[in-house]
Amino acid sequence: MDWSRPGPARVPRILILGGGFAGVYTALELQKHLGRTPAELAIVNRENFFVFYPLIPEIVSGAIETEHILNPIRLLVPRAALYVGEVTGIDLAAQRVDIRHGLYRGRQQPRSLYYDHLVLALGGVPNVSPVPGLGEHAFDVQRLSHAFALRNHLVDILEQGDIETDPAAKARLLTVVVVGGGANGVEVVAEITDLLRDAAQHYPHLAPEDFRIVLVHGGDRLIPDLPENLGRFAEELLRSRGVEVLLGQRVAAVEPTAVRLTDGTVIATETVVGSVGVVPNPLVRELPLRKDPRGRLIVDEYLSVDGYANVWALGDNALVPDPTTGEPYPQTAQHAIREARVVAHNIAARLRGKAPRPIAYRTLGQMVALGRRSAVVNLRGWTFAGFPAWWLFRTYYLAQLPRWEKRLRVTVDWTIDLVFPPTLVQLKVGQPAPMAERAAARASDGAP
């Protein structure tokens, strides 16, 4: 199939932008629904793999190996052509998407792809605009590269802290601030706490109480999407492990070596993690389509965008209303998968001249891991906390992880993690540098 030819194609071309939950699961479902229906399928993604994001916090602590939550898109969706590249433009009138592909930026090649049906599943980007300096100086664990880099950075904290003799410098080095007390922020702070406090026993000049781990949250309780009793349970558990939970506090600015709160408090630190939610991809926000104030595309009950019956949006890119409550569905993997099933069904239906079906999904609930064999779960009004919730969390996500090979590898990782100490190894392989300004300042001072 020649995707570079404009105009109607002999065989309908379905182009999916994004290789996250929304995009990959749309392609998986289309493989089933299309059957022998003549149609060509293609995916554009910046990497050639699918990331199982619910388990990314466990990359930080080293509970599982990074590659074990990565699945090659070609193996998951063999029917689809894969373009590994970056989307640079979307022209809805011409039914064209411009991309740039290739690993090395200086050698990337431009290409135009034409479509008959377009699926917008580009995902979101960290919402750093409300906090000055957050984008420049903080890690964000919504991206795999930053989660991997954060783990390397935490190991470096251990190595440098063990040999630091200046008390003020050591205190700053061993302080970690996590901004945002939603589900992701709570999971990340729990994994960071487990890693640092468990690893301290292997460093002669460090003790668990040397670390200061702070969670800053603007609301009056953690994980506001869950029932209040679960949020309070998470707060009490984190406090019992030595985490400082600052509720009703907001970050005014993040600096290279400090976090400033709106009440004037200054926390000296060299490690900041941002977990303040996501906004739609800038390419989606720039499209001449109806959007909500957050930039999400307005879609109908079939998940097609206003004015374009052949353009579909889902996941972080769309405002999808729950037909039973009228409220938008949460932007989670669970909902992206269900939305993907509806989009795939409706594209196949349109190709066959059949009627599409509206989305009608009742949310199952939410699960948040708290580290150390503990979690909180809300399952359609039934709440669980502690070890039973942790067992349910791991069982559910292990079942959802694509391909048996990866499930087996993660099971082995979890088993090893129960018995052996964390692997305190740094792998410096071109990781991003959220503290770039701080590093540049040190370099200008002649520091190594």
Claim to verify: residue 118 and residue 139 sit in the same structural domain: no
CB-based contacts of 318: which residues, under 8 Å, 6+ apart? 120, 296, 297, 298, 299, 303, 305, 339
365 vs 143 pLDDT, higher one: 365
pLDDT value for 445: 47
Claim to verify: residue 141 and residue 243 sit in the same structural domain: yes
pLDDT value for 106: 61
Claim to verify: residue 346 and residue 236 sit in the same structural domain: no
CATH code of 88's domain: 3.50.50.100
Average pLDDT over residues 389-410: 94
Instruction: Determine the distance from the C-alpha atom of residue 128 to the mean position of all C-alpha atoms in its chain, rounded to a whole number.
Output: 14
Average pLDDT over residues 50-62: 91
Domain range for residue 177? Answer: 134-276+365-441
Question: pLDDT tens, 63-111?
Answer: 898 899 999 999 999 999 999 999 999 999 999 999 998 766 666 788 9
Residue 376, domain member (yes or no): yes
What is the distance between the alpha carbons of residues 317 and 16, in angstroms, rounded to a whole number? 13
365 vs 243 pLDDT, higher one: 243
pLDDT value for 441: 43
Residue 247: how many CB atoms within 10 A of its CB? Answer: 15
What is the distance between the alpha carbons of residues 408 and 397, in angstroms, rounded to a whole number? 13
- What DSSP designation does 209 have? G
Judge contact between 317 and 340, C-beta under 8 A: no
pLDDT value for 10: 82
Average pLDDT, the chain: 90
Residue 73, domain member (yes or no): yes
pLDDT range class, residue 354, cuts 50, 70, 90: very high
CA end-to-end span of the chain, whole Å? 53
pLDDT value for 141: 80
pLDDT value for 422: 67
Judge contact between 82 and 278, C-beta under 8 A: no
pLDDT value for 4: 80
Judge contact between 410 and 49, C-beta under 8 A: no
Claim to verify: residue 341 and residue 290 sit in the same structural domain: yes
CB-based contacts of 86: which residues, under 8 Å, 6+ apart? 46, 99, 100, 101, 108
Residue 101, phi then psi, degrees to nearest 5: -125, 155
Burial state string for 67-82 with b = 16 or more CB within 10 A and e = fewer than 16: ebbbbebeebbeebbb
Residue 358, domain member (yes or no): no
pLDDT value for 222: 96
Question: pLDDT tens, 133-144?
Answer: 998 999 988 778
Residue 359, domain member (yes or no): no
pLDDT value for 425: 66
Question: pLDDT tens, 156-176?
Answer: 999 999 999 999 999 999 999
Residue that terminates a domain, selected from 323, 351, 379: 351
Question: pLDDT tens, 236-291?
Answer: 999 999 999 999 999 999 999 999 999 999 999 999 999 988 889 999 999 999 99
pLDDT value for 104: 62
Q: Is pTM, for the whole model, over 0.85?
A: yes
Residue type, 400: Q
Judge contact between 82 and 76, C-beta under 8 A: no
* Best CA proximity match to 199, nearest among 419, 423, 418, 374: 423
Residue that terminates a domain, selected from 319, 351, 383: 351
Residue 65: Cβ-neighbour burial (10 angstroms; 0-12, 13-18, 19+) = middle
pLDDT value for 428: 60
For the cut 80, the answer to whether the pLDDT of residue 123 exceeds it is yes
Record the tokens describing residue 268, joined without a space.
Answer: 């000296």
For the cut 60, the answer to whether the pLDDT of residue 446 exceeds it is no
What is the distance between the alpha carbons of residues 238 and 245, in angstroms, rounded to a whole number? 8
State the DSSP H helix or E strand holding residue 147, giving kind and residue range, or none if neither.
helix 144-163
For the cut 80, the answer to whether the pLDDT of residue 416 exceeds it is yes
Residue 357, domain member (yes or no): no
For the cut 60, the answer to whether the pLDDT of residue 430 exceeds it is no
Residue 251: how many CB atoms within 10 A of its CB? Answer: 26
Find the angle CA(87)-CA(89)-CA(91) to the nearest 5 degrees. Answer: 130
Number of domains in the chain: 2
Claim to verify: residue 284 and residue 267 sit in the same structural domain: no
C-alpha distances (whole Å) from 69 to each of 27, 185, 361 are 19, 20, 27
State the DSSP H helix or E strand holding residue 119, giving kind and residue range, or none if neither.
strand 117-120
96 vs 6 pLDDT, higher one: 96
- Classify strands 382-386 and 375-379 as parallel, antiparallel or unpaired: antiparallel
pLDDT range class, residue 447, cuts 50, 70, 90: very low
Claim to verify: residue 184 and residue 305 sit in the same structural domain: no
Claim to verify: residue 180 and residue 288 sit in the same structural domain: no
pLDDT value for 148: 85
Question: pLDDT tens, 307-329?
Answer: 899 999 999 999 998 888 888 99
User: For 354, how many CA atoms within 13 A lie in the half-sphere containing its CB?
Assistant: 10
Question: pLDDT tens, 188-241?
Answer: 999 999 999 989 989 999 999 999 999 999 999 999 999 999 999 999 999 999
Percent pLDDT > 70 in the chain is 92
Residue that terminates a domain, selected from 293, 326, 351: 351
User: For 68, how many CA atoms within 13 A lie in the half-sphere containing its CB?
Assistant: 19
